[in-house]
Structure 1
């Protein structure tokens, strides 16, 4: 059960002006003991994010008092929790405090005696930042799919909409949002006895607002909550409103409902909008306005748009089938060709390779760092980048762990020595930690070098360390190759690294090549499911009711398990045992035969297809975007498997796509097309047309690839007589048959 809602934010101390990282943990009405406190704080500190400067434990009224009571009664364990804010003998966590919401404002009511700072923070502002994060994470902002338009209950047509009910998953979410409402409109709410809401979708928030108000200084002991059911029921609302009534509107795009209520005579201070696209010119109070947190966009309208009816908090899009998506050359990422030009060799580009500095962790896609750092074109780029952008104040160069970072640091040191006539000191993080306070004053600037960076957790940690160890030193981060999962992750990393505390003089992040790969850190979903299937093989149920002899199925399961175990880092081979090979004519990469033969074909193909799919997911043109929403599912068109007809490319599509992008069970037409295609693949398993038959079988067996049940059973019926001998393919098809039949 979820007991807290936590978020991180970067803010400034109003007293010192210092910018700090803050972790806020909201406990709501959670039943508290030290085990709960211990678990929640540890879980929120043990992430890939850097340690915060301050941890704020927050609740309201007596629940906040209970936090203090539990903390003081278990001081030894509490001290251990505070020590979680230390690393490498450095105290990163400078304050742990308990805050209470009462009578419309936040009050710091307790500060642990191990705290070394006392920050003067605007927690109301932090709370609004947390609400904005919740809106983004929960998808409360909705944009109509291409060729569609929302029709609002007011009669207006819009391509964008906010859906307040999406914010709520459980009680603690409702209380978190309710606190935001109380912060915004406390003067009215503290005297409220009836709260009118426009939809039952936000009833949990209204009930939480009632509870918080009564406990935190509200003047009215009994409350009533009334739903007037959106635009259809607001006509007579003004006739029943009194001075002790308030109106909470769930969401708005234009402010028309609030404007109409005000026109009817409802007092402006009684009007509260939870989510709105903008607060410019709005009447009443707006809790969350999207324009405060994101740049306004002007979605383009098109002709002949399909209407998605909005009814209160719920969307109706009748008969909407998945939209097929075709991957084209227009989706080729800008940096893909350049990276493959330099780093396609099988000794450089690898799949599921253990990290050199941490063999317990693997990366789905990785490059050999030393090879990257030694690249001549990279060195030429470094010459210009360091010469013209690195601050003259840089006195030390720090390379990330690994051979690549160290070699880049040496190259950059030589460049700076040629410019300044004196060599900067090459150091590790351990060297900086070992410096005394006096010696650290000699560090006037740090250049941080990384050869290959993913989502940037190591860079984030180093940036946090530098802020702690040498806060006044300038910083320049230089990355040779960035391989983030998404471009959004890279932009978030950049935003974090360049924050200097002086908006006029941000730090610098330079990168030679950046390619969002679509590949998460660690093992990819397709490989994880394959590993789980291999582990389940020994306990597989072999039924007498299958279309094949029991002994043949049992032997095929064993063959399947062996094949999965032998190729954990690549693709399954052809039915005849050959490695899947890339031929000429690949639209995203077409090298010479010699270069292709020397490359890791599986890794090259996976990187190319995964990066192209990710580029499609984040494409600027909505009509060219591979992106599903609650109003429209988007799946890969079956045509993609015909366009990219090398087995290794088909396997890459199957493994790089998200599972929902391969779910054709909601479209009988697409499912039938896929069934016809798969029939040809499986019946030609020993020919070039079916060289990826085992990969298609694996995708079906692990349920990443889905057809309708009718097409699934028909496909098995059409291919069952071709499976006459024990084989890997037979084992995979048997597992798929088991899942369809529900054995």
Structure 2
């Protein structure tokens, strides 16, 4: 929560104005500084103007504080030519310029109207006040009307500064002698109190207001207006405009006393504070319309109902659907990149520095940076690097520095002057005249390295051409990528900056795979709990060796557990998701895991061809990996990749609706235990550990079947692990009296 509500407003003369608004009488410097600093870090070089809107009784303190901050770059990090305007509002919500503290910027009443509208629109969109049902679903209202979307004002009333902003918006519509306000929903009561409290403070009059909810359509009969001059009706939102009309007929109130906060109606009645039709431009025309059940077009199409009552949602039973991976799940782009990267030790699992778990790392030494792959980099340089480039800044890492040197070579090969390569620790030091800069990163995940570089280059390179050049983008379909791209390309009124990538993959955005961390905890537990009957040198040696592997970066063929002969899982010929033949001896486990992880992540994201992803998840729609995936792909290395790359909820088969899949997987594991020494059972240890760590869950009846497998037919390691499938503490307070099992 902050003391200031902030947003951006644009007009032709000033393309990018940062607006901060508060209803507080006191100045909170920390919140002010944090907003301005974070706005700079967001990717914009800087706003062309800063507009601060405060209540009239805070104007003097704000002016004094801003004047003091302008003298210190540490307090207000804005260029000296950035216009800074202080504006104030009175008890009627009228906004006027109080002082222009720096630069030049003229604002009139029309500008402030546009500013308020921009702030309201930003609030509605950022808080997702328009709720849209997920694919294959639609809403049923308390009055049994159906719609695919609706406007929920309560979503825009979450933080205090947002309520304060809307209180300012509401001020012009309040009467001078109001004593009672009728609201259609109690969710907007806080806004009414805030608006009258603000008005009372500015007029220095104590305002006692009574607020009563009439519960929308079903409670219109409760409306009993006694004195129209002292009562008004405030409606949160309307899509059809019918509720204000009903209220008008019932109360005989004049139009200016029936106020609707948000309206998406084409023909609204009464007084509308904000015409919200702009917020629904991207929706289908029928989305916000309501229909009787017998006339509902979505019911006719087989759409499922989501019931909600008042401000609370009562979710219907979720549908659980299985998904089977097919050969076409691997896109041509993925096949092409894997043909380039496989068999070159490109993929490893690196421990995160700041949080538990491993992230998939892409090593470019023998792939993109190899001499035989220069053509791809050369093509990107020719197509995207401006001739004005005078400097190159590599982000941290040897791969980035090597890629930066290659880019410099290719620019020089075009007959252009060789750019000067800067140091990431001294971006402001340059010997050549600055004309343009290329920021080079070997791989990007979140894009933080590019955003940090953008911030460092803001002062020395100002608005000069800036090109962001990445070798591999690991999260090309992540939701944040669109925002990242806009931030990096943004250049105020100048031409956009350039963002280009040589190779792109699709991996989970957080790039955090927890399976190995959970496995480490499991083996430590097994080692501590291991009964004497299983504590052979062979079993202990296996556990200790695996713990050592999990405590470091995981490379080559240490991704997965071995088979019972302690041989590493290997890929056999004809992998469905790769093109052309390959030498199975050169393929590493990381190659297969990266392929499966990329396929699964791409199935979680919507595509142009299919709005609902194959692995879609919502409160009303769940998808699991079908048990068929583990029978179709019978290579142990592929099965292990699926177990490790999937999310636990995608491997959750304990529900009654997935009982058939649980039974099939249970049967598969029993067959693996039976044939653990053959190819069919090579991944049995991976399955047992997945169940023991709850990466995969099965129905209790199937877990009991697995655990009941005769331990005397198993190697001691499998026999020791097997009870953990069903119990967390299988060896707690148990007698060590089981029949000895052979090694």
Q: Which is greater in Rg?
A: 2
How big is the shift at 1:388? 4.4
Q: Which residue of 1 aligns with 2:728?
A: 738
**Of 666, 670, 673, which residue of structure 1 is paired with 2:658?**
670
Give CA-to-partner distance per residue, 1:643-690, whole Å, 9 cap, x none: 33333333333332333333344x303045214413531552324444
Pairing 1:183-332 to 2, within 5 Å after superposition: 183-189=168-174, 191=176, 192-203=178-189, 208=194, 211-212=197-198, 214-215=200-201, 221-234=207-220, 237=223, 242-250=228-236, 256-258=242-244, 261=247, 268-270=255-257, 278=264, 284-285=271-272, 289=276, 291-292=278-279, 295-297=282-284, 303-332=301-330
Change (3 A) 1:150 1:38: closer
Change (3 A) 1:397 1:563: closer
2:562 corresponds to 1:573: yes
**Of 395, 398, 410, which residue of structure 1 is paired with 2:393?**
398
Q: Which residue of 2 aligns with 1:349?
A: 347
2:514 corresponds to 1:525: yes
**Number of aligned positions between the proteins:** 699
Q: Which residue of 2 aligns with 1:545?
A: none
- The whole-number CA distance in structure 2 between the counterparts of 1:634 and 1:659 is 11
Query: Please, which runs of 5 or more residues in structure 2 have no aligned partner?
Result: 288-296, 734-743
How big is the shift at 1:501? 1.0
**Of 626, 633, 643, which residue of structure 2 is paired with 1:654?**
643
Q: Which residue of 2 aligns with 1:608?
A: 596
Three-state SS of the structure 2 residue aligned to 1:347 is coil
1:373 and 1:405 in contact (8 A); partners too: no
Q: Which residue of 2 aligns with 1:597?
A: 585
How big is the shift at 1:351? 2.2
Change (3 A) 1:415 1:723: same
How big is the shift at 1:457? 1.0
2:357 corresponds to 1:365: no
Q: Which residue of 2 aligns with 1:181?
A: 166
Three-state SS of the structure 1 residue aligned to 2:621 is coil
2:689 corresponds to 1:698: yes
Pairing 1:160-171 to 2, within 5 Å after superposition: 160-165=149-154
Greater alpha carbon shift after TM alignment, 329-338 vs 121-130 = 121-130
**Of 143, 147, 152, which residue of structure 1 is paired with 2:136?**
147
Three-state SS of the structure 2 residue aligned to 1:341 is helix
Give CA-to-partner distance per residue, 1:488-527, whole Å, 9 cap, x none: 2222111111111127x32222223322312514x42333
Q: Which residue of 1 aligns with 2:740?
A: none
Three-state SS of the structure 2 residue aligned to 1:738 is coil
1:373 and 1:480 in contact (8 A); partners too: yes
- The whole-number CA distance in structure 2 between the counterparts of 1:211 and 1:723 is 78
Give CA-to-partner distance per residue, 1:431-480, whole Å, 9 cap, x none: 54124xxx78x312223333322221111222233333222312222323
Q: Which residue of 2 aligns with 1:135?
A: 127
Change (3 A) 1:263 1:629: farther
Change (3 A) 1:526 1:61: farther
How big is the shift at 1:340? 0.6
Q: Which residue of 2 aligns with 1:513?
A: 503
Change (3 A) 1:473 1:705: same
Three-state SS of the structure 2 residue aligned to 1:684 is helix
Q: Which residue of 2 aligns with 1:472?
A: 463
Give CA-to-partner distance per residue, 1:200-230, whole Å, 9 cap, x none: 4555555555555554559771222222223
Change (3 A) 1:133 1:593: same
Three-state SS of the structure 1 residue aligned to 2:389 is coil
Q: Which residue of 2 aligns with 1:680?
A: 668
Q: Which residue of 2 aligns with 1:644?
A: 633
- The whole-number CA distance in structure 2 between the counterparts of 1:292 and 1:700 is 46
2:432 corresponds to 1:451: no
Three-state SS of the structure 2 residue aligned to 1:391 is coil
- The whole-number CA distance in structure 2 between the counterparts of 1:487 and 1:174 is 27
2:485 corresponds to 1:502: no
- The whole-number CA distance in structure 1 between the counterparts of 2:201 and 2:652 is 49
2:225 and 2:231 in contact (8 A); partners too: no
Three-state SS of the structure 1 residue aligned to 2:496 is coil
Greater alpha carbon shift after TM alignment, 672-681 vs 341-350 = 672-681
- The whole-number CA distance in structure 2 between the counterparts of 1:229 and 1:516 is 47
Three-state SS of the structure 1 residue aligned to 2:455 is helix
2:562 and 2:568 in contact (8 A); partners too: yes
- The whole-number CA distance in structure 2 between the counterparts of 1:160 and 1:407 is 51
- The whole-number CA distance in structure 2 between the counterparts of 1:93 and 1:557 is 70
Three-state SS of the structure 2 residue aligned to 1:581 is coil
Give CA-to-partner distance per residue, 1:389-427, whole Å, 9 cap, x none: 443433323333334433443444344445554333333
Pairing 1:630-641 to 2, within 5 Å after superposition: 630-641=619-630
Q: Which residue of 2 aligns with 1:338?
A: 336
2:472 corresponds to 1:481: yes
1:351 and 1:365 in contact (8 A); partners too: yes
Change (3 A) 1:165 1:593: same
Change (3 A) 1:223 1:7: closer
- The whole-number CA distance in structure 2 between the counterparts of 1:167 and 1:729 is 57
Change (3 A) 1:39 1:119: closer
- The whole-number CA distance in structure 2 between the counterparts of 1:678 and 1:691 is 16
Three-state SS of the structure 1 residue aligned to 2:437 is strand
How big is the shift at 1:376? 6.5
Give CA-to-partner distance per residue, 1:331-367, whole Å, 9 cap, x none: 434521121111123522222267xxx9999971222
- The whole-number CA distance in structure 2 between the counterparts of 1:702 and 1:273 is 54
TM-score using structure 2 length: 0.75
Change (3 A) 1:597 1:282: farther
Query: Please, which runs of 5 or more residues in structure 1 have no aligned partner?
Result: 543-547
2:380 corresponds to 1:380: no
**Of 481, 496, 506, which residue of structure 2 is paired with 1:490?**
481
- The whole-number CA distance in structure 2 between the counterparts of 1:702 and 1:393 is 56
1:373 and 1:407 in contact (8 A); partners too: no
1:188 and 1:269 in contact (8 A); partners too: yes
**Of 424, 430, 441, which residue of structure 1 is paired with 2:419?**
424
**Of 626, 630, 643, which residue of structure 1 is paired with 2:615?**
626
Three-state SS of the structure 1 residue aligned to 2:428 is helix
